Structures are given as structure tokens and as C-alpha cells.
Amino acid sequence: MDSQQVPETHLEIDWSKWTPPGNGDVRSPCPAINALANHGILPHNGKGITKAMANEALTKALHLDSHIANVFAAGAVAANPDHSAHNFDLDHVDKHGYIEHDVSISRDDIAFGNNSAFSKAVFEPLLEGYKASATQQSSDHPVQTSWKTASAVRYARVKASKAKHDAEGGEWTYGLKESILSYGESALYLNLLGKDGVAPLEWVRIFFEEERLPYAEGWRAPPRFDQSMMNHAFVEMIKANEHKAEEAKLVGMGTVEALETGIQSMIKGLSPSMCTVM
């Protein structure tokens, strides 16, 4: 993948600086935010992060649109149980139903385990799904993502989550908000790590498993990262979903048209508790 030029107005980041969390450090259900802490762009202990600090990290390191960055930062501060505080710790946003949700592609559902920490058991089927769909698997042609395969592995996770809840009697929550968050996490990694739905699968693995941005492997931050890119990813993945009619019924919307309308309507009304990118 060609390197992308970073505008001069963006902060130069030493992406080679990376250490995993240590004793006493806290992290969130979001690999992107965790990676910023692991790279030292946010406080490595994950604590005492102000709205301004979060905004600067998201806009200058990941080139995220300032409006989206502000939505996340405001929502994160609001998640602090001390409502008089003007900062947050990363684990404040692991409250179920806030940004953390059932059917995450890298976290266990809250009914069955740790809903904040990375789960290899949950994530491994995504990697295997990509590999199974790949037409080129040699070292000269590494496996890459696409809208179609991203959509397929995302919905496979939805079905696996529901099946486990049905079998074990867990309380499964998958409505319109959760479907947006589900599509949103896929839209996030596809836009952050690649272009037009295409990213090296190895970069995806590094991002989720290590919570590291794969700079040494060739990744560069996108020149820009805004809501229009997220919206485009939503449209492409819904279009590629061979089971969208089934999903519309699971969500409770009845029809594909109702699901698509509901998703677009909620995205337009983006609020601090409905951040579709983090």
C-alpha cells in the first residue's frame, strides 16, 4: 500500500514509541484510543485525560475530523462517574451500552466475560474469515480486507454472539444503536488502516491484538478522517451484506430500507453517547 503524505499542519508523531499497559494502567474497549495511550500520545496510564488532550490526540495523531473528536472527548468526560470532574480515565467508557456493546468483533459480550479487554477467542474467527475469503494467500500477495469480507466477518460475529446467548441464556442486546456501533467499529479500522475498504490483514491483526498502529510495517495515518468516510463505509458494508434482510429483523426494524434509514438518521444526530468511530 502506498504511503500517504501527511499535511504539514499535522503533528509529527514518533510511532516507534510503544509499550503495553503495565500494572495500574487502565484501558478502554476501544483499540484506537488504547493504541494512543500505548504509543504515549495519551497518558500511558490511561488516567486523567482532559477533553483538550483527547481532542489533540485524535485530530493531530489520527487526523480525525475535529467535530467527531469533540463528540468522543465530550462523551468520554461525561462517562466519568464523578460528574464534577473535567477529565476521564479510559476505563470509564467501558460501561455496557455506552460505546461498549454486544457483538464487538474484539471483545466478549458482557454476559460471558470481560467486555473491555481484547479477546482472542472472539477475534480469531474474524481473521480466519478473511483468510478463507482471500483469493491470494502467498507471501507475495498478503491477505487484504475488502468491503465484502469486512461485512461478512462482521455479521458472522453478530450471528455467533446471538447463538451463544440463545444457547446459554444470556441477555442479548442488539437494536439499532448496537448495529450502528457494530458497523462503526468496522468502519473505523477500515478507514484508519486502509483506503476504500482495503487494508493489509496483518495491520488489522496488529491493531486489535497489540493495540498498536503498524507504522513499522508501512502504515501511515490517513490525510483526513471524517464522517463522510465513515458514512461511505456504512453504505458499502450494508450493500455488501448478503444477510441484511435477516439483520433488519434482528434489529427490530423489519425491512432493509427501515434499517438503512434508521442508521443514517442516528448518524446525522450524532451525540456524545453515540460515537460511531471509537
40-60 tens-digit pLDDT: 999 999 999 999 999 999 999
Provide the pLDDT confidence category of residue 139 given band limits of 50, 70 and 90: low
Distance CA 192, CA 62 (A): 8
Q: Cβ distance 112 to 130 under 8 Å?
A: no
Burial bucket for residue 112 (CB in 10 Å: 0-12, 13-18, 19+): middle
Q: Which CATH code is given to the segment(s) 31-268? A: 1.10.489.10
Sign, CA torsion 121/237/253/98: positive
Q: Is the pLDDT of residue 276 over 50?
A: no
Give pLDDT tens digits for 1-37: 444 443 434 457 899 999 999 999 999 999 999 999 9
Stretch 92-115: mean pLDDT: 89
Strand, coil or helix: what is 223?
coil
Q: Cβ distance 30 to 118 under 8 Å?
A: no
Give pLDDT tens digits for 87-102: 999 999 998 877 788 9
Question: What are the boundaries of each domain within the chain?
Answer: 31-268
DSSP secondary structure code for residue 195 in this structure? B
* Alpha helices, H only, the chain: 31-38, 51-61, 66-78, 120-133, 147-168, 176-193, 201-205, 227-240, 244-251, 256-268
Q: Cβ distance 93 to 76 under 8 Å?
A: yes
Q: Cβ distance 129 to 156 under 8 Å?
A: yes
C-alpha closest to that of 246 among 237, 256, 233, 238: 256
Q: Of residues 120 and 263, which shows the higher confidence score?
A: 120
Q: Is the pLDDT of residue 150 over 90?
A: yes
In this predicted structure, what is the pLDDT of residue 47? 98
Quote the cell numbers at residue 231: 458514512
Quote the cell numbers at residue 136: 491470494
Q: Cβ distance 15 to 213 under 8 Å?
A: yes
Distance CA 198, CA 2 (A): 12
Distance CA 49, CA 87 (A): 5
Please measure the distance between the N-terminal and C-terminal CA atoms of the chain and give it in whole angstroms: 24
Q: Of residues 189 and 113, which shows the higher confidence score?
A: 189
pTM: predicted TM-score of the whole model, two decimal places? 0.90
C-alpha closest to that of 49 among 15, 13, 25, 16: 25
Stretch 196-211: mean pLDDT: 97
